A and B are shown apart, each in its own frame.
Chain A
Amino acid sequence: DGGITQSPKYLFRKEGQNVTLSCEQNLNHDAMYWYRQDPGQGLRLIYYSQIVNDFQKGDIAEGYSVSREKKESFPLTVTSAQKNPTAFYLCASSIDRGGTRRNEQFFGPGTRLTVL
């Protein structure tokens, strides 16, 4: 079945550690996105990628890094520079590159990150 997978579902991290969240899609979508959701809030864009080997900062990119070496994969690293990393992280993809705002995004199940 086509879809987006994120792993792990729950992640615990000690302060000062970097951690990488996985996102894989087999939908053959060009564009991929990372969002952060805090309790009682909507989603905020961290990074997005419209094509392999290219990505752009979103609204809250500080303390995060990404890579897009393969079309199917868009991992997100939460670095120790991120001041308040505890949140729910959602990965999404859409069929076309950015600029075609008509296309709905499909979301993965999310990763809940807790910093201890």
Chain B
Amino acid sequence: AQKVTQAQTEISVVEKEDVTLDCVYETRDTTYYLFWYKQPPSGELVFLIRRNSFDEQNEISGRYSWNFQKSTSSFNFTITASQVVDSAVYFCVLGGSQGNLIFGKGTKLSVKP
């Protein structure tokens, strides 16, 4: 079975704090892809990153960084020096075997000024 678990339903931080969003996945595939999407209050999903199962190198993009650990089936997302504009729901997603996406339930991040 394929599944994505985001244990944190809601997180609230104060601006400039660092925050990590956790993601644990399950799959029997040896080759798979993981994604993070952001859903701001407007509702439209915004693609943030894609990672394939053979590339365990961590990635940094500005204030965003991702930690992929195959041994623990985790793909965590860290925002450094959070800003109010980071407030959104963040989804960790697994690429399904039919080309579809398998979503976690999302983590709602609120960044307060």
Q: A interface vs B, CB < 8 Å?
A: 31, 33, 40-45, 48, 50, 56, 58, 88, 90, 92, 94, 96-110, 112
Contact = CB atoms under 8 A, between A and B. Distances in A.
A101 B99 contact: yes
Interface string B45-70: 11100101000000000000000000
Nearest to A31: B99
Contact of A42 (B95, B98, B104): B104
B106 A102 contact: no
Contacts of B104: 42
Contacts of B37: 107
Contacts of B35: 104
A102 B52 contact: yes
Contact of A110 (B9, B43, B46, B47): B43
A48 B103 contact: no
A43 B105 CA distance: 8
A43 B103 contact: yes
Closest 3 CB pairs of A and B: A98-B99, A42-B103, A101-B95
Contacts of A107: 37, 44-46
A108 B101 CA distance: 15
Given A101-B33, A104-B35, A104-B50, A96 B43 contact: no
A56 B97 CA distance: 13
